[in-house]
Amino acid sequence: MDALTDHYETVRERNDYEPVAGAVGPVPARERRRFVAVDDEGVLDGADRSGGADRSGTLVTTGVGMTGPPHLGTVGQFLTAAALQQAGLDVQFVLADLEPYHSGAPLDRVRSLAERYRAFALDLGFDPERGRLRTQSEARDVMHTAQLLAPYYDPEAWADGSEPSNGDPPPTEWERAVREAYEAAEGDRGPGTAAVARPGPTSDAADIHSAVLHGVDFLHPLYAGEYERLVLQFGVDEHHLTGMARRFRDAAPVDGDVAGLYTRMLPGFDGTPKMAKSIPGSGVSLAMDSDEIRERIASDPGGDPAASPVFQAMCLASRYGAERLDRLEAACEAGGEEWQKVRDEYAEFVVELAERWRATGD
């Protein structure tokens, strides 16, 4: 079994998650290829399309950090959010600008990047009438809630990514490979060299503010009585955030159901375990020029679809439905001319995305 596929299975077994083999609540079966696990499917089964201040609705919340231009994983988050809106769900998409600022990134740079991300999300089909597309810094109501819920924040209880009942399970083969890839990349940069330059000030207080706000970005819609059900939608590597949100909810004066819906990870190119900005040569950034994107995608010869970075990207960062992806999976497995044709078609889709990203600004 491929290491990433085995990782999905292990995460599901350890946490009693269900695989996504068809429709999940209002999310249609055609979108099933995006997802690898659902945590508390009953919350989604109870989802409806009413939403709003009558507390009868379900909100999906997701977001991205911003340390540079989008990559294919980021594109996947935007397209998944748009697909969930098309399924009738309200979606909150948080552009996390205060997190990098709290870590020392210049505020003007982060704000400028956030506005580009906002424009790009709208261009990819996010509908602000079906939810909320916002930065952290503009949401003063959420900041106010963060101050009110801060007494209930316990870093000892919530900083650990694992569920308390699971203890500290051993890492999977894929997790070990990711850790080793990050360590190797850090060594290649040399001692004392940061992955992302952050010349501004930071502090322990900034870290705590950031952690509290992160949790309240999730819980505010429940606390404010805007929704009664919350679905956290992230890559499966961040599934621990759902447990963190539940523990924060249980400690604070917050009512409402919390579930998780987790997307697949993208394996990297050249045998790297994960597409990541910090692992050189592993992914496709929209800052790349067109020829570099085409060359990177053309380097995938096909074969095992589970290990193919291009096929896995098609599952997440595209508008292909599950039935078409079934056919593309067969082409990937067979390799040859048919795979080259569909791979090159996808490369042109990504090149167009890069052009649209460049159109948002410098």
The domain that holds 112 is classified in CATH as 3.40.50.620
Strand partners, 27: 24
CA dihedral 248, 249, 252, 254 (to 10 degrees): 160
Which helix H or strand E contains 95, and what residues bound it? strand 90-96
3-state class of 131 per DSSP? Answer: strand
Tell me the helix, strand and coil percentages in the chain, rounded to 5: 55, 10, 35
Is residue 186 assigned to a domain? no
Among 220, 238, 263, give the residue marking a domain's end.
Answer: 263
Is residue 189 assigned to a domain? no
Is residue 176 assigned to a domain? no
Same domain, 50 and 130: yes
Query: pLDDT tens digits, the chain, 362 residues: what are they?
Result: 689 999 999 999 999 999 999 999 999 999 999 999 999 999 998 875 444 433 358 999 999 988 889 999 999 999 999 999 999 999 999 999 999 999 999 999 999 999 999 999 999 999 999 999 999 999 999 999 999 999 999 887 665 444 444 556 899 999 999 999 999 988 765 443 333 445 678 899 999 999 999 999 999 999 999 999 999 999 999 999 999 999 999 999 999 999 999 999 999 999 999 999 889 999 999 999 999 999 999 999 999 999 999 999 999 999 999 999 999 999 999 999 999 999 999 999 999 999 999 999 86
Same domain, 125 and 224: yes
What single DSSP character describes residue 275?
-
Same domain, 78 and 219: yes
CB 97, CB 137: distance < 8 Å? yes
Same domain, 9 and 116: yes
Same domain, 218 and 78: yes
CA dihedral 169, 38, 225, 79 (to 10 degrees): 110
Q: Where residue 320 sits, what CATH number does that domain have?
A: 1.10.240.10
Same domain, 19 and 70: yes
Is residue 147 assigned to a domain? yes
Among 220, 243, 263, give the residue marking a domain's end.
Answer: 263
To 5 degrees, how large is the angle CA 82–CA 86–CA 89?
90
Which amino acid, residue 239?
H
Same domain, 250 and 308: no
Same domain, 122 and 54: yes
Phi, psi of 257 (to 5 degrees): -85, 145
CB 294, CB 326: distance < 8 Å? no
Same domain, 101 and 245: yes
- The structure tokens listed for 102 are 């709290």
Q: 257 CB contacts (<8 Å, ≥6 apart)?
A: 40, 43, 46, 228, 229, 230
Same domain, 67 and 201: yes
Same domain, 242 and 332: no
Residue indicated by tokens 């991205």 = 64
Q: State which residues form the domain around 279.
A: 275-358
Residue 283 CA to residue 277 CA, distance in Å, equals: 7
Task: Tell me the CA end-to-end span of the chain in Å, nearest whole number.
Answer: 43
Is residue 188 assigned to a domain? no
Phi, psi of 246 (to 5 degrees): -65, -40
| The predicted structure's pLDDT at residue 265 | 96
- Global pTM value: 0.92
Residue indicated by tokens 């963060």 = 146
Among 237, 263, 289, give the residue marking a domain's end.
Answer: 263
Residue 344 CA to residue 351 CA, distance in Å, equals: 10
- The structure tokens listed for 280 are 């050189």
| The predicted structure's pLDDT at residue 254 | 98
Same domain, 243 and 286: no
Residue 354 CA to residue 287 CA, distance in Å, equals: 7
Instruction: Find the helix packing angle between 322-334 and 309-316, rounded to 10°.
Output: 180
C-alpha pair distances (Å), 29 with each of 23, 35, 304, 312: 4, 11, 23, 18
Is residue 74 assigned to a domain? yes
Length of the chain: 362
Is residue 328 assigned to a domain? yes
| The predicted structure's pLDDT at residue 48 | 53
Conformational region of residue 57, where left means phi above 0, alpha means psi within -120 to 50, and beta covers everything else: beta
CB 87, CB 94: distance < 8 Å? no
Distance from the Cα of residue 276 to its chain's centroid:
12
| The predicted structure's pLDDT at residue 158 | 67
Is residue 153 assigned to a domain? yes
Number of structural domains, the chain? 2
